[in-house]
Amino acid sequence: MKSKRLLLVAGGILLAVVVAVLPLLGACAPGEKTLKIGITTPTTGPAAEKGSPMGHANLDCVEYINAELGGVGGYPVEVVWLDNAYDAAKGVTAVKKLMDEGCLMFGTASSKIMSAVMETANRAEFPGIACFTSPVLYHPPQHIYGQLPDYGDDALAFANFYMENIWKGSGKPKFALHLLNNPTGSGARDAFRAKAEELGIEIIATEEHTPTTISEMSSLTRIKALNPDVLFISSTPAPTAVIIKNAYALGMYPGITIGCAHASFTKALIDIAGADIVEGVYGTFPTVMWGEDVPAMAKMTEYCQRLHPKDYGNMDYITSWAQTLVMAEILKLALENVGYDVLAKGDVESWRAIETQGFQKLKDFDAGGLHGTVTYTPGDNRLTTYNRIYQIVNGEITNPSDWVEAPFIKYEGYDWFGQ
């Protein structure tokens, strides 16, 4: 088995074209028939602790698909990968590049980047899938899809878990929200706005922070004065670590319950904050843990430990490995339904075929047991709706709850949505 990795510098952005080929074909030659997809991840910048393992997983999984599965339908999968540095402008530039390159669809890691690029992608009918999403990305539904439950789903899953398993007081528990100032935060805010009364909780404070924050002592001092029962954080690992360390320093934690949305709830949070600081913190996450007995675990572990051993144990890697399996299934379905010649064009006709005959034909696809089954439901562009609640115990993310299905919320029906 031979493989070829070509690294180019284009416009100051690192471009990696990864082409793994079948044993009988040798190295990919110009004009060889491939199925081309685009992926853009924040491998550098303020969310690199997430984007780096996620980008590795995407590319590692493509290598696995080509080397061991013979590609998709006998065609090697070709990846055009771009680092967006968690920067909105770079994200838009990247997606335009992916369209120009004739990619059939694109994947992103983050809701922030997808929110920045979705207008461009929707206008062109260029279908995209994001690992981590916010309701604003697909309400109303257009050409953007969510691989996993969104940040609104996280908020409600945690709130329900708290009410059923932790809250022992009378009356309504008091929730304080600390939210990243982009769709990662606004998704949780909108869910609580829509459902807090129904859940029987009181939102007493909503604070925002930036991806590069180095101190939230002032905001947490304001929250502490309100005597909350719960601090819910929807953010990425580095700022979440700052918030929890500050809450610890102020004597708020241990004491209150801290819950996190899934963007921050990975090994990186423990590494940055310190295991003793985050002991007992709860969080949502939509995948299994490393080492669980599911079909995809052995092969994913093999590739991770061989190619990117430092990523082992980081659940963000799992999300993007699974994302790539989902993208391969979309290619497979479209290939079966319309044939290679339609897809080979890499134009709007190809994109429409990928969407209507790929994305929208997904039904009960099992991504190797790594997360919930993948199904497209008309009107709901979330492809997986199952979540779990975990807890950090002895420096490990563990104690998974049963799978919790997130209900559909028609956010566009609320007059405040998107404002």
Please report, for residues 47, 88, 101, 270, 371, the alpha-carbon distance to residue 397 in angstroms, rounded to integers and kept in the order given.
20, 31, 40, 9, 16
- Together in a domain, 252 and 214: yes
Number of structural domains in the chain: 2
Same domain, 247 and 138: no
The verdict on 258 and 139 lying in the same domain is: no
Range 62-79 average pLDDT: 98
CA Rg value for the chain:
21
Same domain, 126 and 158: no
Q: Hunting for tokens 């945690």 — which residue is that? A: 158
245 within 8 A of 294, measured Cβ to Cβ: no
Contact 150, 190 (CB under 8 A): no
As a three-state string, the secondary structure of 64-110 is HHHHHHCCECCECEEEEEEECCCCHHHHHHHHHHHHHCCCCCEEECC
419 found inside a domain = no
Q: Is residue 372 part of a domain?
A: yes
Domain match, 157 and 144 both: no
pLDDT over 70 at 57, yes or no = yes
Q: Is 234 part of any domain? A: yes
106 in a domain, yes or no? yes
Tokens for 100, please give them. 């120009």
The verdict on residue 175 lying in a domain is: yes
User: Do 179 and 326 lie in a common domain?
Assistant: no
Please name which of 399, 155, 161, 169 lies closest in space to residue 280, comparing C-alpha atoms: 399
256 lies in the same domain as 299: no
What are the DSSP calls for 285-315, one per residue?
ESBPPTT---TTHHHHHHHHHHH-GGGTT-H
Report how far Cα 8 is from the mean position of its chain's Cα atoms: 26
Strands (E), 91-173: 106-108, 128-130, 144-146
Domain match, 164 and 191 both: yes
Q: Per the domain annotation, does 224 fall within a domain?
A: yes
Assess whether 34 and 133 both reside in one domain. yes
Reported as a single tens digit per residue, the pLDDT across 316-374 is 999 999 999 999 999 999 999 999 999 999 999 999 999 999 999 999 999 999 999 99
379 CB contacts (<8 Å, ≥6 apart)? 141, 408
Is a pLDDT exceeding 70 seen at residue 399?
yes
Residues 324 and 360 in one domain: yes
Query: What are the distances in angstroms from CA 323 to CA 10, 43, 202, 328?
Result: 26, 16, 36, 9
Residue 418 falls within a domain, yes or no?
Answer: no
| Structural domain harbouring 232 | 153-285+389-413
Please state the separation of Cα 369 from the chain's center in Å.
Answer: 17
CATH number for the domain spanning 139: value is: 3.40.50.2300
pLDDT tens digits, one per residue of 169-225: 999 999 999 999 999 999 999 999 999 999 999 999 999 999 999 999 999 999 999
Strand 3-10 and strand 202-209: pairing?
A: unpaired
Instruction: Answer yes or no: do 399 and 264 share one domain.
Output: yes
Instruction: Check residue 419 and give its pLDDT.
Output: 77
pLDDT of residue 202: 98
Query: What is the torsional sign of CA 188, 193, 194, 196?
Result: positive
pLDDT at 65: 98
By residue count, the chain amounts to 419
Burial of 298 (0-12, 13-18, 19+ CB in 10 A): exposed
Residues 66-80: what's their mean pLDDT? 98
Q: Is the pLDDT of residue 87 over 90?
A: yes
Residue 321 resides in a domain = yes
Whose tokens are 């918030």? That residue is: 243
| pLDDT value for 27 | 37
> How high does pLDDT run on average in the chain?
92
pLDDT score, position 29: 53
The Cα 238–Cα 50 span in angstroms is 9
Q: Pick from 57, 52, 43: which is nearest to 317 by CA?
A: 57
Residue 54, H or E segment: helix 48-69
Task: Based on the fold, state whether residues 54 and 135 are members of the same structural domain.
Answer: yes
